[in-house]
Structure 1
């Protein structure tokens, strides 16, 4: 089969690789759609911290935001999975450690991450093998595009929930990229008054087109009390800014991650009685995200600017927008295309 292979920093090619075989407890999925993520870009550039820790090594096959159809099952897997449309968890814990037994496999010390960590090949390929226990069935209203948006949506759902907002509360999302906009959608669905803080006029204009009229730069941000601030940016100074902007007694949620250390003054955290929460992984949020997409409560389809084939992935990872792209921040890949 064809698969995207990263063999070194900045080196990306589509190669013929052996098709996966369904091992005991696993399934093989024919991949229909894959989202290109910022993590994939860091794998391409070599900047991901996992290279320093040894959790990721070249060559590797990226792709962890995916949807597809089960076409083979291994031993000890219910054959009822055959033919079902699915997506799956990125974080694959060892299922034996204390964290896994407590339902926190996404922070298992020995976890694999599909397309990222632990030599688990990713979904930027025609087929993908994953454990059956990691699957989530996709209902008919959740098409291939939405299915590949479940993983980022699960991260955003968790961030919105961690913000703890209720109807009538005011929330600020810093960073109007894919995760920030998805978080804003879930916050809006919870009844919050949602504001967005960004840098470029294009990204803020796109946010306004999604119905978020209150989209600001630092210079235009009004002096309002924010009950929760979600940092979905990659700027090292954003967590400290979020802490400065949140109301005393409010909540700061950190889901963006910078390439260099971020610092906050814990005296401010304490003296203002602020709750700070870090979010890693969509794992606990996958099922509720599928439900929100199915009901139409949240529809992130406009975030997808273009859908390309495997041959164009290298250019996308290098920051080249596909010709004819829309204004959204997300590029999808259909491995069935040339």
Structure 2
């Protein structure tokens, strides 16, 4: 039996490779991929802009995905065969101090992540350790479930931000992470849920996801200092600094965007005078994954409306070009093997 995969040999170069279907090793499972999302991190891998410590070429990308277990290796539970599932991306060691503390996204055993250093899901099949699986309900929408990885990141952000009912909350950015954050935070009954994005069309979309107010960055300047919690999701050059300005004195700011060199720094004078609590999120811990899958299974989180484009593996070049292209009509782009 054969299996196809998108291989990025080096930045800017990819090929569709066909070879023997991979076999799961001890403690591993083989998953038939149903859908895989393309995010800006994948675009960075393709363009060669990801930090060299967090990618290994050649690589099969794909860290946002869902599928069905079709085979198990020695030591893995045979009952997993046939289960719809997603899986954590970080290959945490499980034994270091950070893992034992529950901070599996900060594992000190060495960075390893599906789709960046290990073969990912832009393929017909992906092999992952069985211990990383989060099985879904038998009737789960696997197309929507492909977005559970960014959902888990938002679950981590909401945990870090400790959102409370009746608070004034702002979400900066109305991309995939931002809209998932709006949907999640709206379920907690905030007094105000504002969304800040320069693209008016994306702001309007956020209102349909549960936001109560859509603002451009210029309009948001009039409400600086107003919010109990600010969840930053854009990773743009100015959004870390502006998110801190949006928070009230004593407020909380959670940074989830992946910033690059040249981002504007946070003013330390403002931090000290405002007594802000600033947290950042890198991926999602195992506990955040549990939160996301539970919310999805209960119907509290529905990522399906975020999906705007679907492509077969053969059209990966077209698909990746859409991501980060700036078109406000482009939401989540999926590869569907």
TM-score, normalisation: structure 1: 0.91
Counterpart in the other structure of 1:36: 38
Matched ranges for 1:49-64 at <5 A: 49=51, 51=52, 53=53, 55-64=54-63
Which residue of structure 2 lines up, in the alignment, with residue 45 of structure 1?
Answer: 47
Which residue of structure 2 lines up, in the alignment, with residue 214 of structure 1?
A: 213
Q: Which moved more, 1:132-141 or 1:201-210?
A: 201-210
Q: 1:28-59 CA deviation, whole Å, 9 max, x = no partner?
A: 0111111111110000000001x2x3x42321
> What secondary structure sits across from 2:186 in the alignment?
helix
Name the CA distance, whole Å, in 2 between partners of 1:326 and 1:303: 12
Query: Equivalent residue of 1:113, what SS?
Result: coil
Deviation of 1:140 after TM superposition, in Å, equals 3.2
Shift of 1:329: 1.4
**Range with greater deviation from structure 2 (133-142 or 20-29):** 133-142
Q: CA shift at 1:217, angstroms?
A: 0.4
Q: How far apart, CA to CA, are the structure 1 residues paired with 2:189 and 2:330?
A: 24
* Cα deviation, residue 320, structure 1: 6.9
TM-superposed CA distance for 1:206, in Å, is: 2.2
Q: Deviations over 1:161-189 (max 9, x none)?
A: 32222111111111100001111111111
The question of whether the paired residues in 2 share the 8 Å contact of 1:36 and 1:333 is answered with: yes
Matched residue SS, 1:92? coil
Equivalent residue, structure 2, for 1:231: 232
1:168 paired with 2:166, answer: yes
The verdict on how the C-alpha distance between 1:201 and 1:290 changes in structure 2, with shifts beyond 3 A counting, is same
CA distance in 2 between counterparts of 1:247 and 1:231 reads 15
| C-alpha contact (below 8 Å) 1:86/1:135 kept by paired residues | yes
Q: Using the alignment, how far apart are the partners of 2:55 and 2:69 within structure 1?
A: 27
Choose the corresponding residue for 1:11, options 2, 10, 13. 13
Residue correspondence of structure 1 range 49-198 to structure 2 within 5 A: 49=51, 51=52, 53=53, 55-109=54-108, 110-117=110-117, 120-192=118-190, 193-198=192-197
Worse overlay, 245-254 or 313-322: 313-322
Tell me, yes or no, if the aligned pair for 2:233 and 2:256 is still in contact at 8 Å: yes
Write the deviation string for residues 48-95 of structure 1: whole angstroms up to 9, x where unpaired.
01x2x3x42321100011111111111111111111111000011122
Q: Which runs of 5+ in 2 are unaligned?
A: none
Aligned to 1:203: 202
Displacement of 1:4 in angstroms is: 0.7
State the number of aligned residues: 328
Q: Distance in 1 between the 2:103 and 2:212 partners?
A: 37
The partner residue of 2:306 within 303, 308, 332 is 303
Q: How far has the Cα of 1:205 moved from its partner? A: 2.7
The TM-score with structure 2 as length reference comes to: 0.92
The Cα shift of 1:146 comes to: 2.4
- Given that 1:34 and 1:123 are in contact with CA atoms closer than 8 Å, whether structure 2 keeps it comes out as yes
